[in-house]
Chain A
Amino acid sequence: MQVNQPIEAVEFPRLDVFIPELIVLITAFVIFTLDLILSSPMKRRILPIITATGYSLSLATVILLNKLKGDTFYKSFTADHLGTVVKTFEILIALTVIVFAQKYYSSRNSFYGEFYYILSFTLAGAMILSSSYNLIVIYVALELVSIGFYILTALLRNSFISKEGAFKYLILGGLSVALASYGAVFMYIYAGSLDLREILSYKGEDQHYLILGLVLFLIGFAIKIGAVPFHFWLPDAYQGAPTPVTALMASVGKLAFFIPIVRIMPLLREEFSDVWIITVGIIAAITMIYGNMVALVQKDIKRLLAYSSIAHSGYILAGIAVTEVIGLKAVVYFLVVYTIMAAGSFFVIALLERMGNWKNLLQDLSGMRFNLPFLALSFMIYMFALLGVPPTVGFVGKTLVFMALSFDKLWWLAIVMIISTGISTGYYVRIVVLMYMKDKEKEFSLKGTNPLEIISLTFLTLLTVGLAVMPELILNLINSASESLFLR
């Protein structure tokens, strides 16, 4: 009988490489159940603890099982070093998001038990997206992350801009998933396989299908990461979302949405590299220039950081345009450290927003060193890191990308990168000047900070400096990850 044949191949999946994701998923379902049966005061106390415990367990397994490599679920899930590095930072940032979210939501009088399990589903989606080559699994994980973000963006009581941002994100996110899956269809037509490794190593006669598929796939992901012709949703969604969620979108979201493109880049064959360099390079150049120019005229801090996030997508895309090992190393390092910088700077805003008369305007920052010296210091470090001043990770990341770019074909992109970094000085330094060289205009005081918040912020700030002073802490891992990706 015909049916019989594929079924003989049924095998029990190798679950050991899937344990971290499994733990996060189980955590999500446990919280889901508890959210349905517990009373509201109990939920407020218990749900964050259980979520944090689950994530910590998952983080521990990611670190303990970092030597494991291999495919499972019929080659649709791949565990490798890149996945380990990325997942470590994703879970770390998600843990800090829980810490900051608790007080933020209670100050807005808007507690939702849904927040915790949708956060967990989003994290699980991001982790699966970071370690898969299969187009269908990429599609499902992409939807899991995106739908989680739409809901998390809208979860703020009595806030109109949160709903507006979520709706814009929903519409453009739907477009991006449609384009990416349309691209996946053309790639399947070309190679008859759903595995990106097989598709890109297949030598067919008609390569137009492959090019069309890759371009559509790239555009779909460019919408998600906010590259410039497709960035319209990003400032609105970032401004409207609850600030801890903005931190999550700017760090975990960006990391997860970039990884499929990062995985495609080393698989490209020689004859495609010119097309890839031109396409990705031009998008990167426009993104960098536009993001930094528009950020110069912003009055709202969250919008300013959103445009800075667009500009950083440009820097990372510039690294992806280099189809060499050095480009891959630069990209992975920059991606990983950008999550720390972005999450940290949004967490500072999340703390500031809890104060009653805080309006999120740039003038509110003036004289912050008198009122809130610790927050001013850490915000200054994040601003210098985003700008790329030496003792911070931003400097190392930008240097690595610049070195990768200045090889042969992409010297023009290196020049564009320097110019746009110069433009970005305008707004990053203005924030530092406002905080440290102006007198205070209004009186602000921050009451009732959770010690965990201070600890997490200190930890992230130390990482911002520490990973630059001692880059070998993660560069060894990143080197082996990048080289093993290029071996294929």
Chain B
Amino acid sequence: MEYIGFLMFFAVMIGIALVMISLNWLFGPKTPQEYEDYPYECGVPLYDKCAQTTFHQGYYLLGLLLLLFDIEAAFLFPWTVVYRWLGIFGFIEMFLFILILTYGLLYAWKKGALNWQFEREEF
């Protein structure tokens, strides 16, 4: 019986929540909106009306490119901390690393992954 207070607290909590929601539902103004039921509500017409279908490939490309430069930054921070002791050797190593990453950017550029004006496709 020592937890009875806790149970009562729980019941009152649920009661208040239910009352609040039902008051809102009873007296609140209702203005139906076109974009109300969209999975991601941002005020502009969405690319796709439900979340279950496929996304445009461009999103994945964008995500991959973001990842590429995120990783670069993650490796640059510890390098800057110890740069003073690494000297010219550390400089060359990081130069090679960034050069290889730049190759990734060049590849994406050349293959048209940076061209984000996607043509709208029919659904």
The interface of chain A, by Cβ under 8 A from chain B, is 3-4, 7-8, 10, 12, 29, 32-33, 36
Contact = CB atoms under 8 A, between A and B. Distances in A.
Contacts of B81: 3
Given A10-B89, A12-B89, A36 B82 contact: no
Contacts, number: 21
Interface stretch (B17-25, B66-74, B103-111, B113-121): B103-111
Contacts of A32: 103, 107
Nearest to A1: B85
B85 A7 contact: yes
Contact of A36 (B90, B100, B106): B106
Given A8-B85, A36-B107, 5 more contacts: A4-B85, A7-B82, A7-B85, A10-B85, A32-B103
Contacts of B100: 29
Interface residues of B, number: 11
A148 to B, nearest CB: 15
Nearest to B90: A10
A364 B100 CA distance: 47
A3 B100 CA distance: 27
B89 A29 contact: no
A33 B100 CA distance: 11
21 contacts: A3-B81, A3-B82, A3-B85, A4-B85, A7-B82, A7-B85, A7-B86, A8-B85, A10-B85, A10-B86, A10-B89, A10-B90, A12-B89, A29-B100, A29-B103, A32-B103, A32-B107, A33-B103, A36-B106, A36-B107, A36-B110
A33 B103 CA distance: 8
Sorted nearest first, the 9 A-B pairs with minimum C-beta distance are: A7-B85, A36-B110, A7-B82, A3-B82, A36-B106, A32-B103, A10-B89, A4-B85, A10-B86
A175 to B, nearest CB: 21
Contacts of B110: 36
Interface in B31-74: none
Contacts of B107: 32, 36
A16 B49 CA distance: 60
A410 B25 CA distance: 77
Contacts of B89: 10, 12
Contacts of A36: 106-107, 110
B61 to A, nearest CB: 16
Nearest to A12: B89
